[in-house]
A and B are shown apart, each in its own frame.
Chain A
């Protein structure tokens, strides 16, 4: 009898905890959206921020975040894919490979603030890139690469060996086998992982404080010459992203509506991350269905 009571009690506690976790998320999302959604308007999303007056927007920050994400992914994806392919297909099974794996693991757990400091030292100061989108993108690449490598490696390891053998037995080179047979099969997993990684990059702030900088010049959205200092497309200008902006107005915001702006910006950030998440989930399921469908 006693064992049964304990069982019932434990079960109810576990169920309660599970419900509690769902409640936390619901509360979290509800709070952010409830506080923030009211503040989101077209004007808020497109106008420039104000330092001391109220009514500022997050236009440049939103643009910076998106631009930085694109830059980062352009750098990360080819390197991450290449390194992942190496780890999965070319690395000989020996000690050196094991230590490379350890190195990747270490890099993936280095706190992002340290990646930011490293960026400050190497990119901003030593290479003279200054606080710029480019520095930020490279720092985020360092932050993101281990994840991309692991995603690629695992996705390729998941490809059935017979597929690889079939291609090699036809007399195809290993490289062609990887690019034409294995990568297409691994693609759904790689894409899903990449989108989730992109969400992580979009929300990252600590690595950017000292690389992309905490300010944004007055951008002239009519000037699309990437070499002009006020052009939004200039990769060598400082760029405060949305996540950094949220941090900054929370710690040193002077505008009277700082709290609302933070709430609105948080809501935008969370909605974007949610979109990334759903996109990854949907794409993964869609591609899985497409590849295994019996037509």
Chain B
């Protein structure tokens, strides 16, 4: 009887096994095809500016003037590249120390209160949609800057400030994990030698967690770099390199957001926007590889 039961069962479970294998394989293939075609299409569209429309790569990367309607039409994307880098780096510069303090607070100073209160706060900050950040930036930060500093209030400073709040959760979460993963003996050894908490943090905790902190910062920069709408709403969108932080500027994302709908597919102006998207995507890859490299180092 055991034999017959086994014969009878032998088939269904093999079929089941194959169904599962094939189903999950199809899902992962879908994912792979999606990303490969995404990269392929963005790259081919972005490169067609150079190969089909014969715009010079160097001109696009270093040109200071973006005027697709001008005579001759100019596609200088440096103002956008500059805007993207300056806002995201500045945002990281503001957010990184705050995040580090928040992480130290949660792990070293008040773990109970931190876990119960600060952590949910940070998670909520991460959940707020970017258009809401843009809206608040537009209705609070921009008017404030307009009153305090010369200019219209919009610009890199406003963009960076909005972005810094948006990337605060990213950096804090990673910093917190890094601090929490620190072996206990390391800190205790330092305390046992009579070091104060700050000395321990400064001399032991900070150096050992540095690669992980850097990972958080790079991820934060990556997120800021790719953020479109919140920045677009507060930066002013003037296509030139500003002379001050409080002067209207543009980023790669804001230029794409604003102009993609106004250009016809296949025109040089449209393809040039795809080139901006390509730059954005390549920068994303760079960030991912930096993060991978840092993660590899933090394991040692």
Direct A–B contact in complex, judged by CB atoms less than 8 Å apart = yes
Instruction: Spell out A's residues near B (CB within 8 Å).
Output: 3-4, 6-7, 9-11, 13-15, 17-18, 20-22, 24-25, 28-29, 31-32, 35, 78-83, 85-87, 89-91, 100, 102-107, 109-115, 117-118, 120-122, 125, 142, 145-146, 149, 172-176, 178-179, 196, 199-200, 202-206, 209-210, 214, 243-244, 246-247, 250-251, 259, 262-263, 266, 269-270, 273-274, 276-277, 281
- Beta-carbon contact of A269 and B28 below 8 Å: no
**B150 interface residue, CB < 8 Å from A?**
no
Bound together, the chains give a CA A207 to CA B291 distance in angstroms of 24
Contacts of B130 in A (CB 8 A): 203, 205-206
- Beta-carbon contact of A277 and B123 below 8 Å: yes
- Beta-carbon contact of A114 and B124 below 8 Å: no
Interface size class of B (residues with CB under 8 A): 35 or more
B145-188 contacts to A (CB < 8 Å): 165, 168
**B38 interface residue, CB < 8 Å from A?**
yes
- Beta-carbon contact of A11 and B198 below 8 Å: yes
- Beta-carbon contact of B281 and A246 below 8 Å: no
- Beta-carbon contact of B132 and A32 below 8 Å: yes
A100 CB → nearest B CB, Å? 7
**B121 interface residue, CB < 8 Å from A?**
yes
- 0/1 string, B194-209, CB within 8 A of A gives 1: 0111110110000000
Q: 16 A-B pairs, CB-CB below 8 angstroms?
A: A10-B198, A14-B101, A17-B102, A32-B132, A86-B27, A106-B285, A107-B34, A111-B281, A114-B226, A121-B41, A205-B131, A206-B257, A246-B131, A250-B138, A262-B139, A266-B135
Q: Which of B12-20, B53-61, B74-82 has 4 or more CB atoms under 8 Å from chain A?
A: B12-20
Count, A-B residue pairs, CB within 8 A: 260
- Beta-carbon contact of B132 and A266 below 8 Å: yes
- Beta-carbon contact of A243 and B131 below 8 Å: yes
Does more than half of chain B's interface fall in helix, strand or loop, or is it mixed?
Answer: helix
**B241 interface residue, CB < 8 Å from A?**
no
**B92 interface residue, CB < 8 Å from A?**
no
Bound together, the chains give a CA A117 to CA B183 distance in angstroms of 45
Bound together, the chains give a CA A266 to CA B225 distance in angstroms of 23
**B37 interface residue, CB < 8 Å from A?**
yes
Other-chain contact of A112, B118, B127, B226 (Cβ < 8 Å): B226
B272 CB → nearest A CB, Å? 13
**4 additional contacts (CB under 8 A) given A6-B196, A90-B24, A102-B292:** A90-B25, A114-B42, A203-B132, A205-B229
Q: A11-B109, A114-B42 given as contacts; is B35 within 8 A of A106 (CB)?
A: yes
Q: A83-B30, A107-B31 given as contacts; is B280 within 8 A of A114 (CB)?
A: yes
Contacts of B98 in A (CB 8 A): 17, 20-21
